[in-house]
């Protein structure tokens, strides 16, 4: 059996979302749903091409909350291929979980939350889930 890496996703790579196929095409398998620690804020980030994606930013000021995540097992040899598909300002880094553990997963560069980031940004932290944001947009 080849080694696997756990990857946490919070948005477009969740099961049933538009980019989940990028994970499954590389052999990823769903492990479980969980939540981040309460140290994150979540933003809906819209770029110049009008594409909207989520971004989680770790905060240390007590203003964060726990965010819905899904963990996938990805064959370690495919992590680099997956990483190549992640556009800025997103990346992979360490996410801290509600249960005290940590895992590699999607993070967003902190500058995105500033007024002059070049992105249209909506703070959706209060929703605690990208899926709830999507549901709100369609109702």
SS3 assignment for 79-95: HHHHHCCCCCCEEEEEE
Question: How would you class 138 by CB atoms within 10 Å of its CB: exposed for 0-12, middle for 13-18, buried for 19 or more?
Answer: exposed
Class of domain 4-129: alpha beta
- Give this prediction's pTM: 0.94
Backbone dihedral region for residue 84 (phi beyond 0: left; psi -120 to 50: alpha; all else: beta) = alpha
Which residues lie below 8 Å from residue 22, measured CB to CB, with a gap of 6+? 13, 82, 85
pLDDT of residue 35: 98
Per-residue pLDDT reduced to its tens digit, 22-58: 999 999 999 999 999 999 999 999 988 999 999 999 9
Q: To the nearest whole number, what is the mean pLDDT of the chain?
A: 95
Task: State whether residue 55 is helix, strand or coil.
Answer: strand
Residue 1, pLDDT > 70, answer no
Per-residue pLDDT for 73 more than 80?
Answer: yes
Condensed to tens digits (0 to 9), the pLDDT of residues 114-124 reads 888 889 999 99
């Amino acid at each position: 059996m080849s080694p696997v890496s756990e990857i946490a996703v919070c948005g477009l790579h969740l099961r049933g979302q538009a980019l989940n196929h990028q994970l499954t095409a590389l052999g990823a398998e769903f492990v479980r749903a969980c939540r981040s620690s309460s140290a994150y804020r979540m933003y809906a980030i819209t770029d110049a091409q009008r594409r909207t994606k989520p971004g989680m930013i770790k905060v240390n000021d007590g203003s964060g909350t726990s965010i819905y995540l899904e963990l996938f097992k990805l064959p370690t040899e495919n992590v680099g291929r997956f990483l190549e598909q992640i556009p800025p300002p997103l990346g992979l880094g360490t996410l801290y979980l509600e249960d005290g553990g940590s895992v590699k997963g999607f993070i967003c560069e902190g500058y995105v939350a500033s007024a002059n980031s070049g992105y249209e940004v909506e703070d959706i932290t209060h929703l605690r889930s990208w899926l709830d944001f999507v549901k709100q947009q369609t109702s």
